[in-house]
Amino acid sequence: MFPLSSPVDSPLGGLLTDPWGTIRALLTTAWSWMQAWGPIAALALLITITALWALRRWWSNRCQDALHDNARIVTILAPPTVDPEGAPAVWSNLVGLLRPMWTRLAQGQPHLAWEYVFGHDGVQIRLWVPGTVPPGMVERAVEAAWPGSHTTTEPAAAPLPTRADGGRRRLVTGGVLRLARSEALPIRSDFDVDPIRALLGAPVGLGVYDGACVQVLARPVTGRRVKQARRAAPARRALHPAGGPTPGRDHAGSHADGGEPRR
């Protein structure tokens, strides 16, 4: 026969009969453990966090390198008349770029880079396409969205010359423009005149050895970010009712092709 233990001797019984004494005993035990093992546990935690951060950076760089492998440039020859409604259509055709969540975590999410390359002889409208996108997918989407347009494909290269010819010095400068406010705020897309006119007119007068390039990185939005934007929309409407000004609407630029922007 084994003797039955009293319920008072259990941790729950001690907590019920003497709560403060039980709490003091637990704190004393925890403090003793921290004094003995705290430095070792803190060092192990720091090493683990550093290793996880380094692993994440390495994996992110690996996914980015995979996008650059076999990347290509699609040059778009626009038709005589361009329909602005082709912009939403081309993104609808490119919704296949979206990957499932686990695939995005493992391999990253490919994006596109719209390029406006300016030189002394004119402007080229191009698309940088990562190597993970199947060949012909973007070309067919563009030609279907803008009937009469044509595309040519070549391996990706730097949009501007990286070396100076004839012993000349080459001066290069650049910058990055990002949206400063929440992506739940709408981007203005309806204009009386084409907003890209200022961009096309800015590089007028470039010399033979001058060049400029404007790149717009974009990709179809994922379902999670759409849900977040929809949840934030009621609060935004409550702060700025219909008819009132909407911060960020007139200050953020639209998509470069004049159509509905996608993030």
Burial classification of residue 131, based on how many CB atoms lie within 10 Å of its CB (0-12 exposed, 13-18 middle, 19 or more buried): middle
pLDDT score for 107: 77
Question: What are the structure tokens assigned to 26, written together?
Answer: 């637990």
Q: Where are the domains of the chain?
A: 11-63, 71-157+200-235
What's the whole-model pTM score? 0.66
User: Going by DSSP bridges, is the β-strand pair 150-155/212-218 parallel, antiparallel, or unpaired?
Assistant: unpaired
- pLDDT per residue as tens, the chain (263 positions): 445 555 556 666 666 676 777 778 888 888 888 888 888 888 999 999 999 999 989 988 888 888 888 899 999 998 888 887 888 888 888 887 877 777 877 777 888 889 999 988 888 899 999 988 888 889 999 998 888 899 999 998 888 877 777 677 778 888 888 878 777 777 777 778 777 888 888 777 788 888 889 988 887 777 777 777 777 767 666 665 544 444 433 333 333 333 333 33
- Residue reference for tokens 């004119």: 122
The CA dihedral of 234, 240, 242, 246, to the nearest 10 degrees, is: -110
Whether 220 contacts 94, CB under 8 Å:
yes
* DSSP secondary structure string for all residues of 145-184: HSTT-EEEEEE---SS-SS-STT-------------S-TT
- Name residues whose C-beta falls within 8 Å of residue 250's C-beta, 6 or more positions apart in sequence: 188
Question: What are the structure tokens assigned to 235, written together?
Answer: 């609060």
- Residue reference for tokens 């490919």: 110
Whether 211 contacts 160, CB under 8 Å:
yes
Buried b (16+ CB within 10 A) or exposed e, 58-75: eeeeebeebbeeebbbbe
State the CB neighbour count (10 A cutoff) for residue 130.
21
d(CA 22, CA 75): 74
pLDDT score for 154: 93
| H/E stretch holding 11 | helix 11-17
Residue 259 DSSP class: S
pLDDT score for 52: 95
d(CA 232, CA 226): 10
